[in-house]
Amino acid sequence: MRLSADKFAQYTFLGIACSAIASLMLIAVFSLKEGLPFILWYGPVEFLTSTNWNPQENQFGVGAMIVASLWVTAGAMLIGAPLGVAVAVFLSEFVPRPVMRVIKPAIELLAGIPSVVYGFIGMMVLAPLIRRHLGGPGLCILSAAIVLGIMVLPTVISISVDAIGAVPNSFREGALALGATRWQAVRMVVLKAARSGIVASIILGMGRAVGETMAVIMVAGNTPRLPHGLLEPVRTLTANIAIEMSAAIGRHREALFATGVVLFVVIMGLNSLAMAVMRRKGAR
Amino acid sequence: MSNHATQIPAAAAAATGPKMRVERLDLYYGAFQALRDVSMPFARNHITALIGPSGCGKSTLLRVLNRMNDLIPGVLVQGLVELDGCDIYAPDTDVCELRTRVGMVFQRPNPFPLSVRDNILFGLRVAGVRNRGRLDETLERSLRSAWLWENLKDRLNDPAIDLPLDQQQRLCIARLLAVSPEVILMDEPCSALDPIATAKIEELMIGLKRDYTIVIVTHNMQQAARISDFTGYMLLGDMVEFGPTTKVFTDPGDVRTQDYISGRYG
């Protein structure tokens, strides 16, 4: 009886695990089927490098939007990753347990706030501030990067705190027993031991930043032109799909699927880049 | 007692008295009293063993000596703990410096997730040593002292976690020797090791006592009898009996010590 229950559970979970992979495969296959013929028809080089997006005149270059997505993501991670890891270190190493038990769920709650709310606050508070003090239209790369930087914090903090918490206490004790200060123990031992988890948190945060759509539409300005500075409005790959899909037919619709393919590849690329960085650091 | 006043007796004690000493020591974890009126010396260049059943306070006593108990919230230490005649619980004590003078080897080998080299040099780097020559010299000297140089001289950049357990434990000892401690505290250093590895560590400890004062906590009474010069038997936070190891094991003065020892042998 128990054996068969075990088997049942085993196959159930196997099925669930496979369905997750199957979903991923289906999304990939569907996007490729819809988008790839268009890319081949339009010319891959032209599609990826042209910065001219003008569907009315059958001009579909996503170069400017690739650049915009990379800029916004990089900006968001420059803000979110150091801040998130620093908060995680502070929470797990320097704050008494009971306090942390209150603060960590509060931070995780941030992940539950709908992205439209982040976008709204960015639009009403952040963009006017930037317009007033730094110039430009306010809706720009910088606004999007700041809003996304804050949005990735719960992901980065929560996973980093877990990673740091999983570091055996014997490492801390060993370091302190050799005369290290608490900060030295954290910096030289604990962070090294938690490195893979921290990198994973940053990769997941980055995935969230690349894929975020609503908040970006609201604060980035949405102009499909190549940006020349942080204060210029941009349109990211995700925003392009979301803004135009409802009205798109024919080639235009296919071009948006092709944009999705590019987005898919960009996310894969960023992930494997992060993995490669992690592996090289691990070997050293 | 001011720091100035402790300097002179310290110099005198350094020559003759015990390396470390606890006097009328009480320790509380919150409301629970873990050590009761413990007094004992730790003789210079000798091995002192602390034995007793689990929960008797022997590890707690060990962790008093390098103030590792400070890390546990709610610990209260009362009484005198001296290193070379200086009170290590005095308010002006530099705890980091104390821990380089009174080093510790833990129950389970705990090499850091770093290379062999970075493990050994950790203590020096923490202390701010950057001189390459000195680092290299210390690396070799420490590994040689723990009989690891021949095994590891070509594997200095390998992760220390990949070593076999007994080498990991000797690496932890070498890592400690690199900071040139005066006292080595060992908290059941062989409990994770097999008998052959244990024998190696014991032999190493006997070799080390020429240069260091060693305090070992052990569950293994044969081990205490084999390697220690003095033994303290603890029970429920009390130091039941303290004396030369041969005396404690062959002619115990307290019936509880006798029960414990004969119970384990029988």
Q: What mean pLDDT is reported for chain A?
A: 90
Identify whether B86 is part of a domain. no
Q: Between these two residues, B7 and A120, which has the higher pLDDT value?
A: A120
Nearest of B26, B96, B107, B37 to residue B68 by alpha carbon: B96
Residue A178 is nearest to which of B108, B113, B123, comparing CB atoms?
B123
What's at A261, amino acid-wise? V
> Using one digit for the tens of pLDDT, what is the confidence trace for B55-103?
888 999 999 999 999 888 889 999 999 999 889 998 998 999 999 999 9
Contact A221, A234 (CB under 8 A): yes
Nearest of A284, A95, A85 to residue A191 by alpha carbon: A85
CATH number for B127: 3.40.50.300
Torsions phi, psi for A37 (to 5 deg) = -55, -40
Identify whether B76 is part of a domain. no
Average pLDDT of span B174-187: 92
> Using one digit for the tens of pLDDT, what is the confidence trace for A42-78?
999 999 999 999 998 989 999 999 999 999 999 999 9
**Length of chain B in residues, anyone?**
266
- Nearest chain A Cα distance for residue B120, angstroms: 10
Identify whether B10 is part of a domain. no
Residue A22 has, within 13 A of its CA and on its CB side, a CA count of 6
> Using one digit for the tens of pLDDT, what is the confidence trace for A111-153?
899 999 999 999 999 999 999 999 889 999 999 999 999 999 9
Using an 8 Å CB-CB cutoff, list chain A residues near B192: none
Say what the ipTM of the complex is: 0.85
Give the pLDDT of residue A1: 52
pLDDT bracket for residue B54 (50, 70, 90): confident
Give the pLDDT of residue B194: 85
Give the pLDDT of residue B16: 67
A278 pLDDT exceeds 80?
A: no
Contact B248, B231 (CB under 8 A): yes
Identify whether B20 is part of a domain. no
A208-212, A273-277, B178-182, B212-216: lowest mean pLDDT where?
A273-277
Identify whether B19 is part of a domain. no
Measured CA to CA, the distance from residue B198 to residue B111 in angstroms comes to: 18
With CA atoms as reference, the chain B residue closest to A168 would be B110
Share of chain B above pLDDT 70, in %: 92
A258 pLDDT exceeds 50?
A: yes
Give the best residue of B96, B114, B179 to mutate against chain A (max A CB count within 10 A). Answer: B96
Give the pLDDT of residue B221: 86
Torsions phi, psi for B29 (to 5 deg) = -95, 100
> Can you give the residue range of the structural domain that contains B222?
43-66+96-265
Q: Which residues of B touch A (CB under 8 A)?
A: 66, 68, 71, 73, 96-97, 99-100, 103-104, 106, 108, 110, 112-114, 122-123, 125-127, 172, 175-176, 179
* Residue A85: alpha-carbon gap to chain centroid: 15
Share of chain A above pLDDT 90, in %: 69
Average pLDDT of span B30-38: 91
Average pLDDT of span A253-262: 93
Q: Between these two residues, B192 and A233, which has the higher pLDDT value?
A: A233
Total domains present in chain B: 1
Give the best residue of B93, B122, B142 to mutate against chain A (max A CB count within 10 A). Answer: B122
Residue A173 is nearest to which of B106, B113, B127, comparing CB atoms?
B106
Contact A107, A271 (CB under 8 A): no
Give the pLDDT of residue A237: 94
Query: Which residues of chain A from 153 to 182 reach within 8 Å of chain B, CB to CB?
Result: 168, 170-171, 173-181
Q: What mean pLDDT is reported for chain B?
A: 87
- Nearest chain B Cα distance for residue A282, angstroms: 10
Average pLDDT of span A16-41: 91
Give the best residue of B118, B119, B126 to mutate against chain A (max A CB count within 10 A). Answer: B126
Identify whether B132 is part of a domain. yes
Are the beta carbons of B112 and A193 separated by less than 8 Å?
A: yes
Give the pLDDT of residue A280: 63
Query: CA-based Rg of chain B, rounded to a whole angstrom?
Result: 19
Name the CATH superfamily, with its identifier, for domain A47-283.
MetI-like (1.10.3720.10)
Average pLDDT of span B209-238: 91
Are the beta carbons of A171 and B122 separated by less than 8 Å?
A: no
Share of chain B above pLDDT 90, in %: 44
> Using one digit for the tens of pLDDT, what is the confidence trace for B146-178?
888 988 888 888 999 999 888 999 899 999 999
Give the pLDDT of residue A171: 94
Give the pLDDT of residue B3: 45
Average pLDDT of span A171-190: 93
> Using one digit for the tens of pLDDT, what is the confidence trace for A201-240?
998 899 899 999 999 999 999 999 999 989 999 999 999 9
Average pLDDT of span B218-224: 88
A268 pLDDT exceeds 50?
A: yes
Q: Give the start-to-end residue ranges of the domains of chain A.
A: 2-40, 47-283
Identify whether B5 is part of a domain. no
B141 pLDDT exceeds 50?
A: yes
Residue A177 is nearest to which of B104, B113, B114, comparing CB atoms?
B104
Q: Kindly report the CA angle at A248 between A242 and A250, in degrees rounded to 5?
A: 135
